[in-house]
């Protein structure tokens, strides 16, 4: 019984271009500064498909993909002070940085040359449990369900960063119209701003989605 309690099911990518395989694996244990999280939801991002299809170089193999993760803290590793057992958190794409380079010291950790990413170099969320660096985890507000919150951990973050860079602009242009733009369009519409969507010629699916999200100019 103890052996079963210390195991988990996970979907594993052994080699790019192949289907994921369900495995029974040892449940990971949190190291210093890490959280052990029981996963409630993990969305599918286009980047996950890039990893599975071999379009991103040098993934950790075998790897458990998935980086739009929502779950609850089961246990905390040494030195974790900001989270408690039972809290609901989100785990994003950026999973670890060195903390020493100029980018890290200036608050631009996403540009760290030594960064590691969830579901790419760090086992991700297509499993029952995962471990994550507490520095890169987020508390999830209670007004979102697990499924609603999961896409915010990647598409939502991308859209929010773009919105912040746009400043107080009244008119905003988005090139491409996928998951991030779909979320951002709802915010811009709520704010009363005018949105222009630019898509590839013939991409009728993106054009139709953009049209449904608001009035096309």
For residue range 164-204, list pLDDT tens digits in order.
888 888 888 888 888 888 888 888 888 888 888 888 888 88
> What pLDDT is recorded for position 2?
37
pTM of the model: 0.87
Provide the token pair at 197: 């969507």
User: What is the crossing angle of helices 155-166 and 179-190, to 10°?
Assistant: 50
> What pLDDT is recorded for position 143?
93
> What pLDDT is recorded for position 184?
87
> What pLDDT is recorded for position 76?
96
Higher pLDDT, 188 or 104: 104
- List, for residues 113-157, the tens digit of each pLDDT value: 999 999 999 999 999 999 999 999 999 999 999 999 999 999 888
Of 17, 18, 45, 21, give the one whose Cα is nearest residue 9. Answer: 21
Domain ranges of the chain: 2-145, 157-213
CA 78 to chain centroid, in Å, comes to: 24
> Strand 116-117 and strand 129-133: pairing?
unpaired
Is the omega angle on the peptide bond into residue 94 within 30 degrees of 0, that is, cis?
Answer: no
> What pLDDT is recorded for position 148?
94
> What pLDDT is recorded for position 216?
45
Q: Distance between CA atoms of 128 and 74, rounded to whole angstroms?
A: 12
Q: Distance between CA atoms of 130 and 68, rounded to whole angstroms?
A: 12
Burial class of residue 186 in the structure, from the number of CB atoms within 10 Å of its CB (0-12 exposed, 13-18 middle, 19+ buried): middle
Task: Please give the C-alpha separations between residue 186 and each of 95, 191, 217, in angstroms, as whole numbers.
Answer: 27, 9, 16
> What pLDDT is recorded for position 43?
95
Return the CATH class of domain 2-145: alpha beta
> What pLDDT is recorded for position 139?
95
């Amino acid at each position: 019984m103890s052996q079963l309690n210390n195991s988990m099911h996970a979907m594993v990518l052994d080699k790019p271009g192949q289907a994921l395989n369900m495995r029974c694996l040892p449940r990971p244990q949190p190291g210093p500064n890490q959280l052990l999280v029981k996963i409630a939801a993990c969305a599918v991002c286009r980047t996950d498909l890039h990893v599975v299809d071999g379009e991103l170089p040098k993934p950790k193999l075998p790897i458990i993909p998935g980086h739009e993760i929502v779950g609850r803290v089961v246990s905390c590793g040494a030195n974790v002070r900001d989270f408690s057992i039972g809290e609901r958190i989100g785990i994003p794409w950026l999973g670890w940085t060195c903390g020493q380079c100029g980018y890290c010291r200036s608050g631009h950790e996403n540009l760290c040359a030594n960064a590691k990413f969830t579901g790419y170099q760090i086992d991700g969320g297509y499993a029952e449990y995962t471990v994550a660096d507490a520095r890169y985890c987020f508390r999830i507000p209670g007004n979102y369900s697990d499924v609603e919150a999961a896409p915010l951990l990647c598409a939502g973050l991308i859209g929010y960063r773009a919105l912040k860079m746009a400043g107080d602009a009244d008119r905003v242009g988005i090139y491409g119209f996928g998951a991030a733009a779909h979320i951002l369009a709802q915010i811009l519409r709520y704010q009363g701003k005018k949105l222009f969507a630019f898509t590839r010629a013939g991409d009728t699916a993106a054009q139709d989605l953009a049209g449904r999200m608001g009035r096309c100019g």
